[in-house]
Structure 1
Amino acid sequence: MRVLAPRFRWILVLEALLAGIYTSLTRGLFVVYLVSVGYAVEGISLVVMASSASSTLLGVFLYRRPTFIMRRSKIKLILFHAFERITWILISLVNHTLFISILYSAYMISSSLISILIAFTIYGSLDEEGIRDVTGKRSAASGVSSVLGYALGALLLALLPADEKFSYIFPLGSLIGLVSTLLISLLDLSHLEEMSIPVGVEQPERIFSTSSFFMIFLASGNFGGIIWTPYVMNRLGGPAFIPALMSLFGSISSITASLFWKARSFTILRVGLLLNALGPLVIWMTPHPALHILINIYTSFTYTAGNFIGSFLFARYKEWFGAVKSSVLLGLIGSIAQLVASPLGMLIGENYLQGFTVMFALKALANLLAFLTIPEVAIVPEEVARTYSRILYSSSLTGYQFAFEVSKETILVTLKLITFSMVIIALYIIYRVLWILMT
């Protein structure tokens, strides 16, 4: 592993510091923006689903063609970093669902690429201890700046005229974000061009178990992000600045959480994962909007533990799975998690009881997978966890192969039926033409 100057790490931390303000003023208030212009849960889910589908397809492409990430990675990182921020200026100029979906999809594609490229930068440049250190510091730095961003966002939401709020907030966030792009341009990433891609995967069952856990866990968080704000504003009657304050104090909680969890063992991190599963129940049982600010402090603190479990596991696996594939897979998992959450929001709509029940079920399933199939986190002996992991992997592989064969046979049968029907129709037409000619 190449030894890099401390300047390299500090640039990454400072980038996260500025990006935190940018994110809190743009994506952090995006659901509030959609609700304020009349979107319900279904409309929000539709916008998120369209963007998630595009970023998921991109992730699949990059996983199959990881060399795209390796070549000229610095130029690509700078270009997409800048373009992502510019999309928010464009979003502030439109209010039609189609245009918002297109622009947000462009944002999500750029955001996915940035996440993958920054993860590749970190995973391809540092060892496991360095990854933990930089990840924790970036998370804390982002949390600190998010506090400022959400405080500013809440102030602007409270003071600006209703029809002009986001015409000022989104461009302001975008301009701050472009300053972080300048920091990225100072990184030396020439060593990433020399990275190699492992030919095979040594322990596919461990990758599968961890990916399944992380995808379901992130999906629970994304789904909560879709339904929680409409619940507070529409069902409980909270004003627009309440969700902004929730995000503000959630960011403060995340700062403490990042510093608290970053050096903890996996056995300690799993306690936070377990406590996070109680969040949906507490949300549903709390009728006063202002109290949800306190709940978000709790859920943000414990959510960080679960998030670190996934990130730190891939930091460990990258030694034999490869920095490129680890980075791309992390990005793909995030996109799939959003894609899973979006249709759930469309199906459930304004049925908040059912929504928080589904959210709790997702978190419970993530806990079950972590505690039984991931050796580093499991509450069962390591060998038992490895056995469960292999069973889960082989069962899923068999199910996939069976579904593929059934789908293939179904398609073939359908095509044969269509062909047969067309032949019958053609014969009937010929018969009718001959009958007309003869008569």
Structure 2
Amino acid sequence: MSIVKKLRARPGVGRSTVAAFALESLISGFYIVITRSLAPVLFAVMGMTLIEIVRINVSAYIAALLTVLGVYNARSLIQNRVKLKLLVFHGLERVAWGFIPIAASISGTLLYMVYTLAVCLTVPTGILVNAVMLGGLSSEDAKKLFAIRSALGAVSSIVGQLLTILILALLPGVAKYLYLYLLAMAVGLCATIVLSFAAIPRIVAEEREEPRESVEAIKASTAFLFLAILLSSSSIIGTIWGPYLIRKLHAAEYIAVATGFIYTVTSIFASLFWNSKPYTVYRVAIASVATVPMLIAMIRIPTAHLAIAALYAFTNTGANFLASFVFADIAKRINVFKASTMLIGAWCLSQVMGLGSVYIAIPLGAVYAFIVSMVFVGLATAIAFTTIPEVAIVPEHLTISYARQLYHVSIASYSFMVFTIRSYIVLTLKLLGLSIVFLLLYTIYRIMLYITTLKP
């Protein structure tokens, strides 16, 4: 807790809150690694194919992305009585994830509903957690707390991974998944109890929002795009890497498990390393992480992938921290709630783009999925080096110009997407209404025909 004591809380957020959020991450890491990492394994055990597993995830994250938009547009509903609403969403999220094995044992439809609900509940929880940290701490202290939470979460993730392997190896049948999920839910609810002791402010204040084309608004947009595209690459790698090792490289199962373990262990030290480094050093992380998809696809020696996992964890942690730290710097100059929503929105959007790409690439082969991952990470690298001032390698005036152009393209693309979606929704409703009218007319026709054919 000595590190936590060094963080200087702003009015309304005391050291107890900082300590509570650090402890919450330590406890939640155990719950998260079990519920998230076991989900695809459970789905496979229940008889789902890889395509079906990807499909249920894409559907869930599309719903989560819509939830992000809904929460932001109705943000006034959760900006008051923040502590109560954070505890409610925090607890409900853990209960929903805990019921996934039960839903899977009842019916596929119920599994879709419960899994989608569980994923969607992570949205308001994440937004409120980020809003409290970004709004209650200085930007430097918010960065430190991000790093501390990342490291502590990774520590408990290791415990969760080891326990998962042990229980899966020792217990027979499908019931072991229920035991693990209920245990994870119970531990996750302990994190909710910890937050109940935190002195969380009643209201997340709306900060002054800059004009749409201000420097801060443009920087937030470019950081959002960078993070969403980078995480899309991570989503593809996380989905394909393990099966690729086992099926294509014929690696032993423990190699696939060990890559995840090494990634988690390395991320602990990476979180502490990148926390204290100036922004210019992050160029190394961004340039290095861009090589990982190519290394995975090209290196055919299974044991060498353990070293790649360490490299990936170290560089990917730094690249992710860059975007989070940029948001921490500008959160109070745009809008704390907006910055928090963009962080969570980037994650949801990345899952839709990444898993959607996997869904398309799976029939073609794993190599094509890695190629798409290379494209994503290459695009993220280009965005960082040309539009994010903290790490840009082009002159400052060009950085501003490129960032503004990218911002305009993003706004135009978003407007077109919203217009298209609305048009399709309206068209669908009109066709549905027309179908109902035709159905009623046909029903009336059949009734009249039946009446006229009756003998007197």
The TM-score with structure 1 as length reference comes to 0.87
**Using the alignment, how far apart are the partners of 2:287 and 2:199 within structure 1?**
40
The structure-2 alpha-carbon separation of the partners of 1:292 and 1:168, relative to structure 1 and needing over 3 Å to count, comes to farther
Which residue of 303, 308, 318 corresponds with 2:331? 318
Listed one character per residue, the Cα deviations across residues 95-145 of structure 1 (whole Å, up to 9, x for unaligned) are 554333222211111112111111011011001111011111111111111
What is residue 21 of structure 2 aligned with on the other side? 12
Q: Between the two structures, name the one with larger relative contact order (CA 8 Å, sep ≥ 6).
A: 1
- Corresponding residue SS for 1:376: coil
What is residue 333 of structure 1 aligned with on the other side? 346
Offset, 1:39: 3.8
The structure-2 alpha-carbon separation of the partners of 1:59 and 1:251, relative to structure 1 and needing over 3 Å to count, comes to same
What is residue 380 of structure 2 aligned with on the other side? 366
Is the Cα contact below 8 Å between 1:29 and 1:244 reproduced in 2?
no
What is residue 393 of structure 1 aligned with on the other side? 407
Offset, 1:297: 2.1
Which residue of 369, 375, 399 corresponds with 2:389? 375
Offset, 1:234: 3.9
The structure-2 alpha-carbon separation of the partners of 1:159 and 1:408, relative to structure 1 and needing over 3 Å to count, comes to closer
**Using the alignment, how far apart are the partners of 2:61 and 2:414 within structure 1?**
23
**Using the alignment, how far apart are the partners of 2:123 and 2:253 within structure 1?**
28
Is the Cα contact below 8 Å between 1:197 and 1:325 reproduced in 2?
no
**Using the alignment, how far apart are the partners of 1:361 and 1:132 within structure 2?**
29
**Using the alignment, how far apart are the partners of 1:245 and 1:19 within structure 2?**
22
Identity across the alignment (%): 28
What is residue 317 of structure 2 aligned with on the other side? 304
Amino acid at match of 2:282: L
In the alignment, is residue 111 of structure 1 matched against residue 122 of structure 2? yes
In the alignment, is residue 134 of structure 1 matched against residue 145 of structure 2? yes
Number of positions where the alignment pairs a residue of Structure 1 with one of Structure 2: 420
Listed one character per residue, the Cα deviations across residues 135-167 of structure 1 (whole Å, up to 9, x for unaligned) are 111111111111111111222222222534322
Is the Cα contact below 8 Å between 1:63 and 1:325 reproduced in 2?
yes
Is the Cα contact below 8 Å between 2:62 and 2:348 reproduced in 1?
yes
Is the Cα contact below 8 Å between 1:49 and 1:339 reproduced in 2?
yes
- Corresponding residue SS for 2:137: coil
**Using the alignment, how far apart are the partners of 1:75 and 1:251 within structure 2?**
32
Is the Cα contact below 8 Å between 2:22 and 2:149 reproduced in 1?
yes
What is residue 188 of structure 1 aligned with on the other side? 199
**Using the alignment, how far apart are the partners of 1:413 and 1:154 within structure 2?**
50
Unaligned runs of 5+ in 1: 423-439
**Using the alignment, how far apart are the partners of 1:78 and 1:344 within structure 2?**
35
What is residue 153 of structure 1 aligned with on the other side? 164
1:253-272 to structure 2, matched below 5 A, reads 253-272=266-285
Is the Cα contact below 8 Å between 1:87 and 1:106 reproduced in 2?
yes
Greater shift in the superposed pair: 147-156 or 248-257 = 147-156
Greater shift in the superposed pair: 135-144 or 98-107 = 98-107
Is the Cα contact below 8 Å between 1:153 and 1:244 reproduced in 2?
no
Listed one character per residue, the Cα deviations across residues 187-235 of structure 1 (whole Å, up to 9, x for unaligned) are 1222534444637443332222111111101111112222223323444
What is residue 432 of structure 1 aligned with on the other side? none
Is the Cα contact below 8 Å between 2:258 and 2:306 reproduced in 1?
yes
In the alignment, is residue 285 of structure 1 matched against residue 298 of structure 2? yes
What is residue 208 of structure 1 aligned with on the other side? 221
In the alignment, is residue 46 of structure 1 matched against residue 55 of structure 2? yes
What is residue 2 of structure 1 aligned with on the other side? 11
Amino acid at match of 2:350: A
Offset, 1:75: 1.3
**Using the alignment, how far apart are the partners of 2:262 and 2:272 within structure 1?**
16
Is the Cα contact below 8 Å between 2:30 and 2:159 reproduced in 1?
yes
Listed one character per residue, the Cα deviations across residues 340-396 of structure 1 (whole Å, up to 9, x for unaligned) are 122212111151010011111100100000000111111112221011111222234
The TM-score with structure 2 as length reference comes to 0.84
RMSD: 2.9
